[in-house]
Amino acid sequence: MADLDRVGDSDSAQQLANSMIGALLGVVHHIGGDACVSNVLARSRERRSAADLRRPDGWSSYEQGLALFRAAADVLDDPDIGRKAGVEVFRQYAGTEVLALLRSIGSPAEMLRAYPAISAKQSTITRSEVVEVDETHGLISVVTPGHKRDPLFCGYTLGALSQFPVLFGMEPADVEELECQTRGDDRCLIRVGWDPKSSVEASLEREVVALREQVLVLTKRFESLESVAKDLASTRDVNSMLETITRRAGVAVRAPRYLLVAQLPGDVAPRIHHVGFTEVEAQKAAHHLLHSDSKMSDPSRLVVDIESTRGHFGRLAAFYPEQYHFLPQERSLLMAYAGHAAAALETAAALDDSRDRNATLSALLALGKALAAVSTRTEVAQRLADAVPVVAGVDQAHVLLWEPGDALLARAASTASPLHAPREPGPAAVQNVALANRMLEMSTPTVVGATSDPILASIVSLTGLAQGVLVPITARNTLLGALVVGSDGPELRADDALWERLSGATSLAATALDGVALLEEVRHQALHDPVTDLANSRLFEDRVTQSLSIARRNGNSLALLFVDLDRFKLVNDHHGHKVGDELLRAVAERLLVTVREEDTVARIGGDEFGILLQRMTHTSHAEGVAAEVVAALGEPFVIRGLTLTIGASVGVTVFPEDGDTYDSIVSRADSAMYRAKADGRGRFNTHQPTPESRLRRAQA
C-alpha cells in the first residue's frame, strides 16, 4: 500500500470537516437568523451555499474555514464565537451514529485518550497528542504544522473539549489553555477537568433519553436499508445505489476519502465509487484495494469486505492522511454499510437474472419494514416465518433462535400452508456445543434430511420436516439462529433463485436480531450495575415504587433489607480494586441464592446492597432472610488465592408498618443498619415504629 499512501494526500481542500463549519453557521443562525448567515458568507467571499457547507460529508481548506470563522466574529462582534461553535458541534450529532459511537467509548477519560482519532474527524492538518489522563482531568497537546494557528480555532477546540463529560450526563468540563501557539509557544497545551460525581444523580428520564437516541440510530439504519431496497426494486442502475452507500458511509465514519470497489458475477470490470479522489487516483487506489490484505495494520486505512452468503463482492474503505487513525468502534459502522452494499449487490444479481421477481423484492421490502418495527427476538422470528413462504415460494418456514450461553437452538416461530398440516414437530430444542461452529462453516443454504450430517439433521428434526433447506442466520461471524423451509408436496427445487431469496430474508433477519440485541444490551447497561450485573439504584427504586403501589391495592406486605458490607474498605486498601470488584461479585452471588426469584437484589452504592422481598406475611420472615444474609456474608471468601472475611450489617423495614414511599422505607432501613453496626456489626436490626407512627398508620 506504499503507493496508495501518497494518493491525494496533498489535497488542501480536505482539511477541515463540514461539522466544524456547520456548527459555526448553527451558532450564527441562532443569533442572527438567515440574514446574518448570508452576511458571514458574503464577508468571507464564500461561494458555496449554507446548505452545501452543512453537508455532513463535506470538507474545506484551512483558509476557507478560517475566513468563515473570522467573518462570523466580525459580523457578530464576538471574539468567543470559536468556543461557542465547539460547544455547538455535539448538538449537531444528536440522534446520529456519530454520537452513539462517541458514547460507546465509555467515559470522558477514554474519550481524551482517543482524542487524536476524534480530532481527525474535524481537521486533517492538526496533530493532537495525549500528555496525561486520569479519571478527573487530562492534558492534550495540539499543533497545526505549516499553518499559523488562530485564536478562533483554539476557542473551538476548548469548546468541543468542554462537552466531553456532557455526553455521559455530567456537567461541562473546565478547560484552560496553559500554552498556546498564538502566544508564541511551540504548542497549544490544554488542561481539561471534570467532576465525575456530577452524574451520580442522573434521573431515569435521562437514561430514557439515551435509550431513545439509541432507538433513533437503529431506526435510521433500518430506514437506510429500506431505502436501498426500494431503489433497487424500481431501477436497474445499481451504480447509483453503490454511490449512495459510499456517501452514507462518509456520514457515519467521518474521513476525507472513501472508496467502494465491487464486482457482480457478470461484470467485465469492477464498479468503482469514491469520495475525495480524482478519477485517476480512484482507479489506482481501487487496484491496490482489491489486491491487498483487508486486515492491514495501517491505522490510517479502514478496509472492510463486501460479502454475503453468496460470496465476496469487493471492498469498502475509508482513508485518513498518514499519522491519523480510526477509532476501533468505527470498523463495525463501516461494516454495516458494507453489509448494505452486499445486500444491494446481492439483489442486483438476482435482478440481472430475472426482472420478473418484483413480487419477491416487494415481499422482502415488506419484511424489512416489518422487522424495523419490532423490538424482541420472538417478534423478529415470527415476522420472518410469516414472510418467507411468500418470499421463497415454500409451504413451511420454521425459525430457530440460538442461545449461546446454553448452547441451545430452540423453536421460536413457524408458519405452514393452511391446505396442508405439517408433521408433528419433534423436540422443542437441541443442545450441542459444536452446533454453532458447524453452522458457521456453511457458506450457502443446505438441503438436510434424516441421513445428513447428524448435527444438521437434529436441527431439521425440530420442525417435523423429513427434509428441509437449512439457512444459518448470522451476523459478524456469530450465530443468531436458523431458518428451515420445506414443502408439503414434492421436494423443493434447490436452485440459485431459492438460495438468493432465502439469503436475502435471513440477511434482513440478522440485521434485525443484531439491532434487537444491541438495544437490549443498552437497556440492560442503563439499569444494571456494571461490576455485579445486579439491578442498579435506579432500577431498584423503580421496582420498589411499583411494588409499593401494587401492595397498597392488594393489601400485601413487603420488606426492604439494606445491606452494608463490614470491613470492605480494608480489602480495597490492602489488595486493590480488582480484588474488591471480584469480592463484590462473590457477594452478589451469595445474596442471590438467599432470596426467591421474584425478589430483587440491587447494588445501590459502593459496598451497599438493597433487597426487596415480595409478599412478606410477617416481619419474622424478613428477619429470617436478614439472618441468612448475615450468615452467608460472614463466611470467608476465597478471591485470587486470598481468604477474605468481611461480614455485613443489615437493616430491615416492612411495608406498610415502616413507611409508604421509597425514600421513607430506605431511610428507615438505613437507620436500622447503622444501629446494627453500632451493636457490633455482623448482625441485623429491624426498624421499630414508634407508637405515634402506628397510631397515624391506623388512622390513615
Mean pLDDT to the nearest integer, 237-247: 77
653 strand-pairing partners: 560
Chain region(s) in the chain for CATH 3.30.70.270: 537-699
Note the CATH number of domain 537-699.
3.30.70.270
Note the CATH number of domain 2-195.
3.90.1520.10
pLDDT of residue 9: 39
Distance CA 674, CA 659 (A): 18
pLDDT of residue 147: 83
Q: Are 199 and 170 in contact (CB under 8 A)?
A: yes
Distance CA 512, CA 507 (A): 9
pLDDT of residue 689: 75
Query: Which three-class secondary structure state does DSSP give residue 499?
Result: helix
Q: Locate the DSSP E strands across 455-607.
A: 467-475, 478-486, 558-565, 600-603
Burial bucket for residue 673 (CB in 10 Å: 0-12, 13-18, 19+): buried
**Confidence grade of residue 353 (pLDDT, cut at 50, 70, 90):** low
pLDDT of residue 250: 66
Distance CA 152, CA 158 (A): 10
Query: Which three-class secondary structure state does DSSP give residue 556?
Result: coil
pLDDT at 623 exceeding the cut of 90: yes
pLDDT at 226 exceeding the cut of 80: no
Q: Which CATH superfamily is domain 236-353 in?
A: GAF domain (3.30.450.40)
Which residues fall within 8 angstroms of residue 405, CB to CB, at 6 or more apart?
none
304 strand-pairing partners: 316
Element (H, E) at 585: helix 577-593
Q: Are 428 and 462 in contact (CB under 8 A)?
A: yes
pLDDT tens-digit readout, 495-525: 677 788 888 888 888 888 887 777 777 777 8
The count of other CB atoms within 10 Å of the CB of residue 317 is 26
On average, the pLDDT of the chain sits at: 81
Backbone angles phi, psi at 107, to 5 degrees: -165, 165
pLDDT tens-digit readout, 415-473: 854 434 444 555 788 888 888 888 888 877 888 887 788 888 888 888 888 888 888 98
Task: Please tell me the number of Cα atoms within 13 Å of 467 on its side-chain side.
Answer: 12
Query: Which three-class secondary structure state does DSSP give residue 583?
Result: helix
Element (H, E) at 73: helix 62-76
Lowest mean pLDDT among 142-156, 327-341, 399-413, 550-564: 327-341
pLDDT tens-digit readout, 277-325: 888 988 998 888 888 776 666 777 888 888 877 678 888 888 877 766 7
Polymer length in residues for the chain: 700
Distance CA 91, CA 84 (A): 11
pLDDT tens-digit readout, 23-72: 899 999 999 999 999 999 999 999 999 888 888 778 888 999 999 999 99
pLDDT tens-digit readout, 304-315: 888 877 678 888
Helix crossing, 358-372 with 377-392: angle to 10°? 170
pLDDT at 648 exceeding the cut of 90: yes
Dig out the grid coordinates for 214 from the structure.
439509541
Helix boundaries (H) for 444-495: 454-460
Helix boundaries (H) for 77-130: 81-92, 97-104, 108-113, 115-119
pLDDT of residue 481: 87
DSSP for 377-435, written as a single string: HHHHHHHHHHHHHHHHT-SEEEEEEEETTTTEEEEEEEEE-TTSPPPPP--SEEE-TTH
Which of these, 483, 207, 225, lies nearest to 368 by C-alpha position?
225
The count of other CB atoms within 10 Å of the CB of residue 441 is 8
Distance CA 615, CA 329 (A): 46
pLDDT tens-digit readout, 128-172: 899 999 989 999 999 988 888 899 999 999 998 998 888 887 889
Q: Which residue in this structure is represented by grid cell 420488606? A: 559
Domain 358-524 classified CATH 3.30.450.40? yes
pLDDT at 205 exceeding the cut of 70: no
